[in-house]
Structure 1
Amino acid sequence: MKADGQLYLDLMKRTLTNTIYRGVPVAWVEGQPVFDTTRREHGTPWLNIAHTMVSVRRLDNLQFCLERALADGVPGDFIETGVWHGGACIFARSLFKAHGVQDRTVWVADSFQGVPTTTAGSHPMDQELALHEKNAMLAVSEETVRENFSRYELLDEQVSFLSGWFADTLPGAPISQLAVIRLDGDLYSSTMDALEHLYPKLSPRGYVIVDDYGIPACATAVHEYREQHGIEDEICFIDPYSIYWRRSTGSSGW
């Protein structure tokens, strides 16, 4: 990729995270409306007009994983489960464009209704989180996400939407291979659904990124799945709250 391609990707990061125009932090997360450039680069505060909650550091990690997969010839697409305004998926599509990649799809998987309402049958840790109470902020419509892609001129045939709860959409998703999986579903159930139905499609040397590892419910699902399937690939920290690992040629995931 040429230097101007990297300049384009750096600008995408600053725009998607809104470190350019800045904004007002979401009060229920931060409690005080103060913008701090250093903190925003590490993911806080969440801004009311940004297209992603993902930090610059986490977008750097996404770029690393995607570019490493491309350089090593790892076959497959990219998927994010839980996209909010679509920022990380928009960035992934921009990276494919910068590298001239025309044979990989960005899969945008979300309920577009927020997180599921917990019930008596939900995992106890999900019940305790009760994140559905924040759906007024978390729920972003598919139409809005599509419009966000269009604003960057990145809504095309290499972007596909999986609309609905993960338990309903992921089992039959028309995806053959994945090179990078990015999980951002917060809950135990959402994380486990994604791992169960997507990890078997992850190519050897492909990457798994877990945005919400700092949430105990999510971390529990990750460790239970890894233990159940004998996955011993090294977990690497992106920051204190998110992780990734690279699938070895010997780990099954089945």
Structure 2
Amino acid sequence: MLTPLKNGLANALSPAALYWLRSVKRAIMSEPPLPWPYGAQQEPGTSMSSPPAIAAPALLPSEDGRPIQDIALERYKLRQLPSPDSYYTYEDVLIVAAQEIAKMLTLCVQYVNGSHVYGDVAEFGTMGGFTAKTLATSMVFDLQRQPLGKSASGENPFRVLRLFDSFEGLPEITSPVDLTSPHVVSGAWAKGGCKVLAAPELRERIGRIIPPHRFEIYDGWFADTVKTLPPETRFALIHFDGDLYQSTMDALAPLFQRGMVSTGAVLLFDDWNANRALPSTGERRAWRELVAEFDIEASDCGDYSIAGKRFIIHSYRGIPADPE
């Protein structure tokens, strides 16, 4: 009775899918793996090539140039996607460390939506655009998941992705704290380092994912660009990848001073464990001084990937009330 069913299933599946299904069965039964291509005989002293990966259908921009957001929401509405969760993929991720960063950023975007944290999403230091693209992709379903009627983005009821970078690489390093850090002493961090994408390239890449009104790029040094933010700006998530102690202070001190970090906001440090994780250098040193200066109360939510650290902000001196 089962034989016709098995034969029908085998005929209906592609060779790659059939290989995967039978490999799972053999693994459960503790049997040796099948060679690939399926049915081929392995010669002594040779190795079989890997089977093709079976990937989930990707959401790609259509020929008319619409952003991924429009296509994703259209497919979701037509029930061509079973749930927003099935959309999130990391097809550009090639290494485990980057995958862990992508997962953490995605989960944090979902957290600020689920916990009704007010404000926008910011990244300081965009470099090659990988994490900026991850944040943009994670924000595609804000329109389905964000429960707020309005946010710090004004008339637009959905979060805006705000990307800050000099697009000139690292600044001239003058802080005594930075000058003694191992990464600077070794030359790994130097003026002009970490320069990858130009602002127009970043704009083009993010524009493939979310429409232009949902993101903004701030071209310049952190100390200058944060001053241009209107006073009503609030941030629900800040991903900081500025490497240096001085860059950390230039970006974050004005935000806390101006009360722009919301209650419950997530603050992620990309280079927390850089410089051999010495507490006297980089982001670790900057955070300790910020906590003391602004009397910050925050939950340490632990490390992620190989160098990152995540905090949730509860209160600080001058924190404003959540907007109605």
Query: How many Å apart are 1:3 and its aligned residue?
Result: 4.5
Alignment partner, residue 268 of structure 2: 209
What code does the residue aligned with 1:251 have?
Y
Choose which of 159, 168, 173 in structure 2 pairs with 1:104.
159
Q: Which residue of 2 aligns with 1:183?
A: 240
2:292 to 211, 227, 231: 227
Contact 2:297 2:313 in 1 (8 A): no
Q: Would the aligned equivalents of 1:177 and 1:202 in 2 still touch at CA under 8 Å?
A: yes
Q: Contact 1:184–1:212 (CA<8 Å) still a contact in 2?
A: yes
Q: Quick one: which of 297, 302, 308 aligns to 1:242?
A: 308
Alignment match of 2:175 (pick from 120, 123, 128): 123
Q: State how 1:1-254 maps to structure 2 within 5 Å.
A: 3-9=82-88, 11=89, 13-15=90-92, 17=93, 19=94, 40-42=95-97, 55-100=98-143, 103-118=158-173, 122-128=174-180, 129=184, 131-133=189-191, 135=193, 137-150=194-207, 152-174=208-230, 176-199=233-256, 200-215=259-274, 216-235=281-300, 236-248=302-314, 250-252=315-317
SS in 2 for 1:148: helix
Larger mean CA deviation between 98-107 and 163-172 belongs to 98-107
Label 1:62 to 1:230 Cα distance change in 2 as closer, same or farther (>3 A): same
Q: Which runs of 5+ in 2 are unaligned?
A: 1-75, 147-156, 275-280, 320-324
Question: SS of 2:169's equivalent?
Answer: coil
Q: Is the 8 A contact 2:243 2:271 kept in 1?
A: yes
Identity of aligned residues (%): 23
TM-score by length of 2: 0.60
Which SS does the other structure have where 1:79 is aligned?
strand
Q: Distance in 2 between matches of 1:233 and 1:245?
A: 6
* Cα distance change, pair 197–57 in 1 and its aligned pair in 2 (3 A): same
Q: 1:230 to 1:240 in 2, by over 3 A?
A: farther
Structure 1 runs, 4 residues or longer, greater than 6 Å off: none
Q: Does the CA-based 8 Å contact 1:14-1:56 persist in structure 2?
A: no
Residues 8/221 of structure 1: CA separation in 2 closer, same or farther (3 Å cut): same
* Structure whose CA Rg is larger: 2
Aligned equivalents of 1:138, 1:123: Cα separation in 2: 20
Paired residues, number: 212
Gaps of 5+ in 1: 20-39, 43-54
Change (3 A) 1:82 1:168: same
After superposition, the CA RMSD in angstroms is 2.2
In the superposition, the TM-score normalised over structure 1's length comes to 0.75
**Superposition deviation, residue 4 in structure 1:** 4.5
Q: Structure 2 CA distance, aligned partners of 1:97 and 1:222?
A: 31
Deviations 1:128-166 (A, max 9, x none): 41523562x53421012122224x343511110111000
